[in-house]
């Protein structure tokens, strides 16, 4: 059966809560203050059955102007609206404001319910109906059924239920295959169970045992139990009112306005790019940087409006904007939102999210406006490529691209396959993708740096892979950077030498000055193989520049012509090999080697003999056993 949510809308004291009770048998005014004052303050929820056996849920919203923010929290996620107008009063201020909100949220399925029909005569009722139909012209509910009921007597209630069922046939069911998103509109505790949150599941599904992410904090929580329409279930689907019993979190740690979501899918942001429209009836224009109240789901945030292509937005006009928030908000591409003026608080407009994690944008910039238009109206193929090329030096996963484009996994997967075939995107495997434009830019930056580096340090084999990543590509983690390096190696754009990277064909090549230093260093080291001078002494002897000398020493070590015995001592490769030959001969006649014997064998002092035989231990040529060595 189809899953959908019905919502009420209308002016205060126009009988919304009484109507809900007549439809469902549930009094949604649960607070003591609501009972005393006879008005709805908080959101109310109730399940009910349609004539054909279909189960649905209804959200009852407060009508008082002071509680519009509560009304907004309930209106998001509604699939069908019952615009409620009292027969004895007709269209009133909050009727109009609620209707504006319905239009801003794109709720285009619904009907108009004239309540308190028993309080007026037939002639008055005809006048009210005519007023309503005239008012609805040009609105999202133009042509919607208009029905008169008396909730107290029950007149018209069966017919209303049948009409709801009929309208519901045209409601588009929400996608239960995507990622789960549930804005929290209520949190409470139940003895023996702990923290429970409720909300309308916007997309995806939630199962008992699922791990979810509480956004924007990113805290992981576990689903202990689930209830839909007061029934315990194992799985809840998009389009249902859901109560989620959370494990391992206290009530004081959960707030209305937060969101439960599939882990790793959503991210919070202080900047959102959007198309914003001011309602025609607004008495206010918006100037650049005006402060507003931003409503999305059950969340409310203060923010500023940056007009990207004009200095002022007038009633009835729309424009591309950037919303700069005063706290992090969680949005998804395609989400609808409502803005209210900061003070006095009135609903002035709303729109659609284009980029939920936007960079700071320049005003009156044609490139910015063109890219936003492409994100808003381009094909999915174009939008996937645009997102990848905008973030050209980032590697993206399928989850990233679904989030950025606001599309589905199957749809994005199909476009990625086509982009790969078209040579626009490269599959780096393991679920990682990068645009060819981005790959070429990374290749050019790496090659330009290595060319400069090889010129400055001709004796070095290459530049450290990790230093290169952290210096130029810190946004790319080590695993993903290695994928890029592997790809560039396979394409012949790089070579890897141990943990260093170099340009193809690079071979450390000393020039005349370096050759002179090499001859001086090796000559000094080989005069007395087993009692070599220190590097500091050689540098002083040769009167060498320190940087040039150190470069040559590193080159000789890399090429194996010098061997670092320990942190402070270097031997020539010739000394190390001759030492091995002497030891080999020694062990043909002796089973054990003492330090004194090694000292005599190498004809050197203990200062050199001990580090040398410790080196042979490390390279597993000899093995230490107490105070002696044996041949391995």
Predicted local confidence at residue 77, as pLDDT: 87
Per DSSP, helices labelled H in 58-104 are 68-75, 93-104
In 297-438, which ranges are E strands?
299-307, 312-313, 318-330, 336-341, 347-355, 396-397, 425-429, 432-435
Task: Assess whether 73 and 152 both reside in one domain.
Answer: yes
- Residue pair 485/501 in contact (Cβ under 8 Å)? The answer is yes
Beta bridge partners of 277: 318, 350
Task: Assess whether 38 and 151 both reside in one domain.
Answer: yes
Place of tokens 């009633």: 315
Domain CATH number, residue 596: 1.10.10.10
Question: Does the residue 195 lie in any domain?
Answer: yes
Question: Does the residue 456 lie in any domain?
Answer: no
Task: Assess whether 95 and 76 both reside in one domain.
Answer: yes
Beta bridge partners of 200: 241
Domain CATH number, residue 320: 2.40.30.10
User: How does residue 41 score in pLDDT terms, banded at 50, 70 and 90?
Assistant: very low
Question: Does the residue 489 lie in any domain?
Answer: no
Beta bridge partners of 85: 114
553 alpha carbon, distance to own chain's centre: 48
156 alpha carbon, distance to own chain's centre: 48
Containing domain of residue 308, as a range? 268-368
Task: Assess whether 219 and 121 both reside in one domain.
Answer: no
Task: Assess whether 208 and 342 both reside in one domain.
Answer: no
Task: Assess whether 64 and 154 both reside in one domain.
Answer: yes
Predicted local confidence at residue 65, as pLDDT: 52
Longest Cα separation, the chain: 127
The least confident of 49-58, 304-313, 577-586, 589-598 is: 49-58
Predicted local confidence at residue 72, as pLDDT: 77
How far is Cα 196 from Cα 215, in angstroms, rounded to an integer?
Answer: 16
Instruction: Give tens-digit pLDDT for 540-559.
Output: 999 999 999 999 999 999 88
Higher confidence at residue 232 or residue 44? Answer: 232
The count of domains in the chain is: 4
How far is Cα 317 from Cα 349, in angstroms, rounded to an integer?
Answer: 10
Predicted local confidence at residue 34, as pLDDT: 35
If one counts every other C-beta atom within 10 angstroms of the C-beta of residue 558, the result is 17
How far is Cα 450 from Cα 443, in angstroms, rounded to an integer?
Answer: 10
Q: Is 247 exposed, middle or buried (0-12, 13-18, 19+ CB in 10 A)?
A: middle
Q: Is the pLDDT of residue 216 over 60?
A: yes
- Residue pair 41/31 in contact (Cβ under 8 Å)? The answer is yes
Task: Assess whether 205 and 231 both reside in one domain.
Answer: yes
Element (H, E) at 303: strand 299-307
Q: Quick one: tokens of 157? A: 């209630």
Give which of 335, 261, 260 is closest to 294, Cα–Cα.
335
Q: Is the pLDDT of residue 33 over 50?
A: no
Q: Quick one: tokens of 244? A: 């989620």
Task: Assess whether 17 and 157 both reside in one domain.
Answer: yes
Q: What is the mean pLDDT of the chain?
A: 92
How does DSSP assign 465-528, residue by residue? HHHHHHHH-TTS-HHHHHHHHHHHHHTTS-EEETTEEE-TT------HHHHHHHHHHHHHHHHS
Task: Assess whether 336 and 192 both reside in one domain.
Answer: no
Domain CATH number, residue 85: 3.40.50.300
Give which of 423, 307, 326, 417 is closest to 368, Cα–Cα.
307
């Amino acid at each position: 059966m189809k899953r959908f949510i019905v919502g009420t809308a209308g002016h205060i004291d126009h009988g919304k809560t009484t109507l809900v009770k007549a439809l469902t048998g549930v009094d949604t005014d649960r607070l003591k203050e609501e009972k005393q004052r006879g008005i709805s303050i908080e959101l109310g929820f109730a399940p009910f059955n349609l004539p054909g056996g279909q189960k649905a849920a209804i959200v009852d919203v407060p009508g008082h102007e002071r509680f519009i923010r509560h009304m907004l929290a309930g209106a998001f996620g509604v699939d069908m609206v019952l615009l409620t107008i009292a027969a004895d009063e007709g269209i009133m201020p909050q009727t109009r404001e609620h209707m504006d909100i319905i239009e801003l949220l794109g709720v285009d399925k619904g009907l108009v319910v004239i309540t308190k029909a028993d309080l007026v005569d037939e002639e008055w009722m005809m006048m009210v109906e005519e007023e309503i139909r005239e008012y609805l012209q040009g609105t999202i509910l133009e042509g919607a059924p208009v029905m008169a009921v008396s909730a107290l007597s029950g007149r018209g209630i069966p017919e209303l239920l049948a009409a709801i069922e009929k309208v519901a046939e045209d409601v588009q069911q929400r996608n239960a295959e995507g990622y789960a998103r549930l804005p929290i509109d209520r949190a409470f505790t139940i003895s023996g169970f702990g923290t429970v949150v409720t909300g309308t599941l916007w997309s995806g599904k939630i199962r008992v045992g699922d791990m979810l992410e509480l956004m924007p904090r990113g805290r992981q929580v576990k689903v202990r139990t689930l209830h839909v329409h007061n029934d315990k279930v194992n799985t809840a689907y998009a389009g249902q009112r859901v109560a989620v019993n959370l494990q391992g979190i206290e009530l004081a740690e959960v707030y209305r306005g937060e969101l439960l979501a599939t882990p790793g899918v959503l991210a919070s942001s202080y900047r959102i790019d959007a198309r914003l429209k001011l309602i025609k009836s607004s008495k206010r224009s918006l100037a650049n940087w005006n402060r507003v109240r931003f409503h999305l789901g059950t969340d409310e945030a203060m923010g500023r409006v940056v007009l990207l292509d004009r200095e002022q937005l007038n009633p009835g006009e729309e424009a591309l904007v950037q919303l700069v928030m005063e706290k992090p908000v969680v949005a998804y591409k395609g989400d609808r939102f409502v803005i209210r003026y900061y003070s006095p608080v009135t609903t002035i407009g709303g729109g659609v999210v284009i980029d939920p994690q936007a960079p700071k944008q320049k005003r009156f910039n044609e490139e910015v406006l063109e890219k936003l238009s492409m994100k808003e109206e381009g094909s999915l193929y174009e939008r996937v490529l645009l997102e990848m090329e905008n973030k050209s030096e980032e590697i993206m996963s399928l989850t990233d691209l679904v989030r950025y484009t606001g599309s589905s996994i199957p749809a994005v997967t199909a476009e990625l396959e086509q982009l790969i075939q078209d040579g626009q995107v490269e599959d780096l495997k393991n679920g990682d993708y990068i645009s060819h434009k981005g790959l070429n830019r990374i290749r050019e930056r790496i090659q330009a740096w290595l060319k400069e580096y090889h010129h400055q340090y001709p004796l070095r084999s290459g530049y450290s892979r990790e230093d290169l990543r952290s210096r130029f590509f810190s946004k790319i983690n080590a695993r993903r950077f290695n994928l890029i390096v592997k790809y560039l190696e396979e394409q012949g754009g790089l070579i890897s030498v141990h943990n260093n990277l170099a340009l193809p064909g690079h071979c450390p090549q000393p020039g005349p000055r370096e050759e002179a230093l090499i001859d001086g260093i090796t000559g000094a080291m080989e005069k007395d193989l087993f009692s070599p001078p220190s590097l500091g002494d050689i540098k002083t002897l040769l009167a060498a520049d320190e940087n040039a000398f150190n470069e040559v020493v590193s080159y000789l070590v890399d090429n194996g012509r010098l061997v670092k015995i320990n942190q402070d001592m270097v031997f020539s490769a010739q000394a190390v090999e001759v030492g091995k030959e002497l030891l080999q001969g020694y062990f043909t006649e002796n089973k054990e080697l003492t330090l004194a014997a090694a000292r005599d064998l190498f004809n050197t002092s203990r200062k050199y003999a001990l580090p040398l035989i410790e080196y042979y231990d490390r390279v597993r040529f000899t093995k230490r056993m107490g105070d002696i060595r044996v041949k391995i």
